[in-house]
Amino acid sequence: MSAEIINGRELADELRERMKEDVEQLSEQGIVPNLTVIIVGEDPASLSYVRGKKRASHKIGIHSDLIELPETTSHQELLHLIQQLNSNDEVHGILVQLPLPAHINEDEVIETISPDKDVDGFHPISIGRMMAQKDTFLPCTPLGILTMLDEKNIDIEGKHAVVLGRSRIVGKPIGQMLLNRNATVTYCHSRTKDLADVLRQADILIVAIGKPAFITGEHVKKGAVVIDVGINRLEDGTLTGDVDFESASEQAAYITPVPKGVGPMTITMLLQNTIKAAKLKNQVTTRS
């Protein structure tokens, strides 16, 4: 058996076409969704991601400002900038690219972003609302994953979802969101005993640990759904996931590739959250 590939690139393009119409309707009402992205320092990978976000925004009519700050920016300066953006009525969404330099307290930065503009869904208020199953900004990568599963009509209810990785931006929230959809969820991480045995029980396996080819076919139950969240840049420059695609796809029923899998969906959900923020601010709805 060879798995069906879930092409995140194609799905992302389809969704963005639909969102473009949404944005057009908003601009007819004089509302241009605005996403402001802040990056501190000059990490080349981070710069390339945020430029990608800006390009993707413009393509569908979202206004996006990129604020590039030097590595030496102080914690207070960054908080001050965020406070200014919070009170700027034209700004609907604020994203501070992570990771931040070591001298800046990431938690405080996230907590300074207004929950109404928290398009990343990282603010403790957004997380609390997610846990309480209230309407909120859901974090982009997990939301992109759920959107892929739904698009393929993959049942979540009652399934055993195993999440490998417990980061704030992917592992923890995707587990909670799958639980909210009535999956049985197991979290695994670096201290998990008998890891391979646990992984082999997964109907839905979410891999987000940042280790190239960590998961192979021997960890994948026949017919499982494998979601590869890894973004690893190899020395020769190629981008690869956390899953050995060849061997895993012999076992899986569905699998996401890297690139062209979860990554493009993440950016699409950021655009979706920005549109949501613009609608909330103006208390409007559109046809779709």
Ligand X SMILES: Nc1nc(=O)c2c([nH]1)NC[C@@H]1CN(c3ccc(C(=O)N[C@@H](CCC(=O)O)C(=O)O)cc3)C=[N+]21
Q: Indicate if 13 belongs to the active site.
A: no
> Any binding-site annotation on 74?
no
- Minimum Å gap between C-beta 80 and ligand X is 19
Residue 127 in the binding site for ligand X (CB under 6 A):
no
Residue 208 in the binding site for ligand X (CB under 6 A):
no
Which of the stretches 15-23, 155-163, 217-225, 252-260 binds ligand X when contact is defined by CB under 6 A? 252-260
- Cβ proximity to ligand X: between 40 and 204 the closer is 40
Residue 4's DSSP bridge partners are 254
Q: Where are the alpha helices (DSSP H) in 152-261?
A: 171-180, 195-199, 245-251
Task: Supply angle C-alpha 25, 31, 37, rounded to 5.
Answer: 115
- Cβ proximity to ligand X: between 160 and 168 the closer is 168
Q: Indicate if 120 belongs to the active site.
A: yes
Among 36, 266, 272, 274, binds ligand X (CB under 6 A): 266
- Which SS3 state, helix, strand or coil, does residue 118 take? coil
- Cβ proximity to ligand X: between 32 and 239 the closer is 239
Longest dimension (CA), the chain: 57
**For ligand X, which residue has the nearest CB?**
263
Within 107-126, the residues that bind ligand X by CB under 6 A are 120
Sign of the alpha-carbon dihedral angle for 22, 84, 118, 79: positive
> Any binding-site annotation on 275?
no
Cα distances (Å, whole numbers) of residue 261 to 4, 59, 214: 12, 20, 17
Which of 97, 176, 251, 272 is an active site residue? 97
Q: Indicate if 97 belongs to the active site.
A: yes
Within 34-93, the residues that bind ligand X by CB under 6 A are 48-49
Among 164, 69, 60, which Cα is nearest to 109's?
69
Which of 22, 117, 118, 120 is an active site residue? 120
Q: Which two tokens stand for residue 42?
A: 């000059």
Q: Which residues contact 218 (CB under 8 A, 6 or more apart)?
A: 196, 200, 247
- Cβ proximity to ligand X: between 11 and 149 the closer is 11
> Any binding-site annotation on 18?
no
Among 226, 243, 263, 277, binds ligand X (CB under 6 A): 263
Among 104, 128, 132, 97, which Cα is nearest to 115's?
128
Among 5, 69, 98, 198, binds ligand X (CB under 6 A): 98
Which of the stretches 69-77, 79-87, 128-136, 261-269 binds ligand X when contact is defined by CB under 6 A? 261-269
Cis peptide, bond prior to residue 259, ω within 30 of zero: yes
Q: Where are the alpha helices (DSSP H) in 152-199?
A: 171-180, 195-199
> Any binding-site annotation on 261?
no
Q: Which two tokens stand for residue 214?
A: 């960590």
Residue 267 in the binding site for ligand X (CB under 6 A):
yes
Residues that are catalytic: 53, 97, 120
Binding site listing for NADP(+): 165-167, 231
Residues forming contacts to ligand X in the complex (CB under 6 A) are 48-49, 95-98, 120, 140, 231, 239, 258-261, 263-264, 266-267
